[in-house]
C-alpha cells in the first residue's frame, strides 16, 4: 500500500502574525509544484487565521498545536476543536512531548483530545516517543507500547483510520541529535506491529507514521529512504521558508 508522505511544520512558540505573513509570501512559491507530499504548517493560535488566509488556494494545510476537548465552556486559556475547525484548521498536533513534559498530558488526555479533534473534522497528529534515559535503559519499546496502549488502542477502528502518528524520540527534539534512519525505522516498525495487533494488518499498512526530532534539509533524504517513514514533523527547520521548502522537496 502506498502512503502519501506528510511534511508537517511545528512552529511551537515562534512568530507573530506579521512574521507568519512574511513566511507564507516566501514559502508558497517555493513549494508551488510539490504534489508528492501533503504539507502542513502548525503556527501558534493567534496566527491561525492569518495562516489559513495565506494558505488559501495552495495545497498547504493549517494545523494547531494543541486543543481541549468539548465544544465550549468555562475552561480558561483553552481552545476547542470546534473553534479550530471554525478558524479553518484541518489538523492538530496532540500530545507533543513538550505538552507531556511541561503540562503533564497523560494517555487519557491523548484519547480525549484525539477524539475531540476527530469530532470536529480535524486530523490529529498524535505524538509518542521515549526519553533519553528510557532509550539508554533499553526501555524504548516498553514506553512506546504503553503510550500506544493507553493513548491509541482505546480508539475505535474508524477513529484510528483517520489519525496520523508522529514518532518523536524526546532526546532528538531541538537537540540536533537525529535518530539514525535505522533507529527511527525500527521504532516505526514496532509501532506498526502494535497497530496490526490491535486494529489489523490493513490499518497497519495504511497508517502514516511521521518521524520527528531535528529533521533538517541535510538529513531528511536518508530518513525518507526508509520504507517505514512516511514523513516528518519538523520544529526548528520549519521556521525558515527556504529550509522547510528543502525538507518538503527532499
Ligand atoms: P525539532 O522539533 O525539529 O526542532 O527537533 C521537532 C518537534 O518537536 O516536533
Reading the block at residue 63, the C-alpha cell is 494545523
Distance CA(81)–CA(134), nearest Å, equals 32
Query: Which mutation among 215, 239, 240 tests ligand 1's pocket best, with the greatest number of atoms within 8 A of CB?
Result: 215
What does pLDDT average to over the chain? 97
CB atoms inside a 10 Å sphere around CB 4: 11
Ligand 1 center from residue 176 Cα (angstroms): 9
Reading the block at residue 163, the C-alpha cell is 489519525
Distance CA(133)–CA(170), nearest Å, equals 10
Task: Write the pLDDT tens digit of every residue in 209-222.
Answer: 999 999 999 999 99
In ligand 1, which atom is closest to the CA atom of 237? 3
What is the predicted pLDDT for the residue at 170?
A: 94
Q: Which residue has the cell 473553534?
A: 83
Which residues touch 150 (CB under 8 Å, ≥6 apart)?
106, 107, 108, 110, 111
Query: Which mutation among 171, 176, 235 tests ligand 1's pocket best, with the greatest number of atoms within 8 A of CB?
Result: 235
Rg of the chain on CA atoms, in Å = 17
Bridge pairing between strands 60-64 and 231-234:
unpaired
Q: For residue 4, which of 177, 231, 245 has the smallest C-alpha distance?
A: 231
Which residues touch 37 (CB under 8 Å, ≥6 apart)?
4, 5, 6, 7, 231, 248
What is the predicted pLDDT for the residue at 183?
A: 96
Q: For residue 118, which of 51, 60, 69, 78 has the smallest C-alpha distance?
A: 69
Ligand 1 center from residue 1 Cα (angstroms): 28
Is pLDDT at 62 greater than 80 in this prediction? yes
What does DSSP assign to residue 79? Answer: -
What is the predicted pLDDT for the residue at 1?
A: 59
> Which of 38, 98, 134, 168 does the annotation list as catalytic?
168
Average pLDDT over residues 186-197: 98
Residue nearest to ligand 1 atom 7, measured at CA: 235
CA 206 centroid distance within chain:
16
In ligand 1, which atom is closest to the CA atom of 166? 9
Looking at the chain, the whole-number percentage of residues with pLDDT higher than 70 is 100
Residue nearest to ligand 1 atom 6, measured at CA: 235
What does DSSP assign to residue 171? Answer: G
What is the predicted pLDDT for the residue at 176?
A: 84
Residues with CB under 6 A from ligand 1: 10, 168, 173-174, 212-215, 233-237
Whether 82 sits among the annotated catalytic residues: the reply is: no
Average pLDDT over residues 130-151: 96
Is pLDDT at 2 greater than 90 in this prediction? no
Task: Annotate 88-145 with DSSP letters as a single string.
Answer: T--EEEES-HHHHHHH---HHHHHHHHHHHHHTT-EEEEEE---HHHHHTT-HHHHHH
Whether 36 sits among the annotated catalytic residues: the reply is: no
Ligand 1 center from residue 193 Cα (angstroms): 25
Ligand 1 center from residue 200 Cα (angstroms): 30
Task: Write the pLDDT tens digit of every residue in 74-108.
Answer: 999 999 999 999 999 999 999 999 999 999 999 99
CA 146 to each of CA 111, 142, 152: distance values in angstroms, whole numbers, following the listed order: 13, 6, 10
Query: What is the pLDDT confidence band of residue 151, given thresholds at 50, 70 and 90?
Result: very high
Amino acid at each position: 500500500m502506498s502512503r502519501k508522505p506528510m511534511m508537517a511544520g511545528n512552529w511551537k512558540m515562534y512568530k507573530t502574525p506579521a512574521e507568519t505573513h512574511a513566511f507564507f509570501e516566501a514559502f508558497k512559491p517555493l513549494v508551488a509544484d510539490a504534489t508528492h507530499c501533503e504539507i502542513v504548517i502548525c503556527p501558534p493560535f493567534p496566527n491561525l487565521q492569518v495562516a489559513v488566509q495565506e494558505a488559501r488556494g495552495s495545497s498547504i494545510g493549517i494545523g494547531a498545536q494543541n486543543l481541549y476537548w468539548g465544544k465550549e465552556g468555562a475552561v480558561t486559556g483553552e481552545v476547542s476543536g470546534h473553534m479550530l475547525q471554525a478558524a479553518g484548521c484541518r489538523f492538530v498536533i496532540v500530545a507533543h512531548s513538550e505538552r507531556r513534559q511541561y503540562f503533564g498530558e497523560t494517555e487519557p488526555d491523548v484519547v480525549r483530545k484525539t477524539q475531540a479533534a476527530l469530532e470536529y473534522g480535524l486530523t490529529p497528529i498524535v505524538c509518542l516517543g521515549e526519553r533519553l534515559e528510557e532509550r539508554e535503559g533499553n526501555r524504548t519499546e516498553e514506553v512506546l507500547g504503553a503510550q500506544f496502549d493507553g493513548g491509541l488502542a482505546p480508539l475505535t477502528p474508524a477513529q484510528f483510520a483517520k489519525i496520523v502518528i508522529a514518532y518523536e524520540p524526546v532526546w532528538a527534539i531541538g537537540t540536533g541529535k537525529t535518530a539514525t534512519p535505522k533507529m527511527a525505522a525500527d521504532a516505526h516498525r514496532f509501532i506498526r506491529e502494535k497497530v496490526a495487533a490491535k486494529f489489523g494488518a490493513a490499518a497497519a499498512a495504511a497508517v502514516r507514521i511521521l518521524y520527528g526530532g531535528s529533521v533538517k534539509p541535510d538529513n531528511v533524504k536518508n530518513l525518507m529512504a526508509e520504507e517505514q517513514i512516511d514523513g516528518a514533523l519538523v520544529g526548528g527547520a520549519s521556521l525558515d521558508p527556504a529550509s522547510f521548502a528543502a525538507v518538503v522537496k527532499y
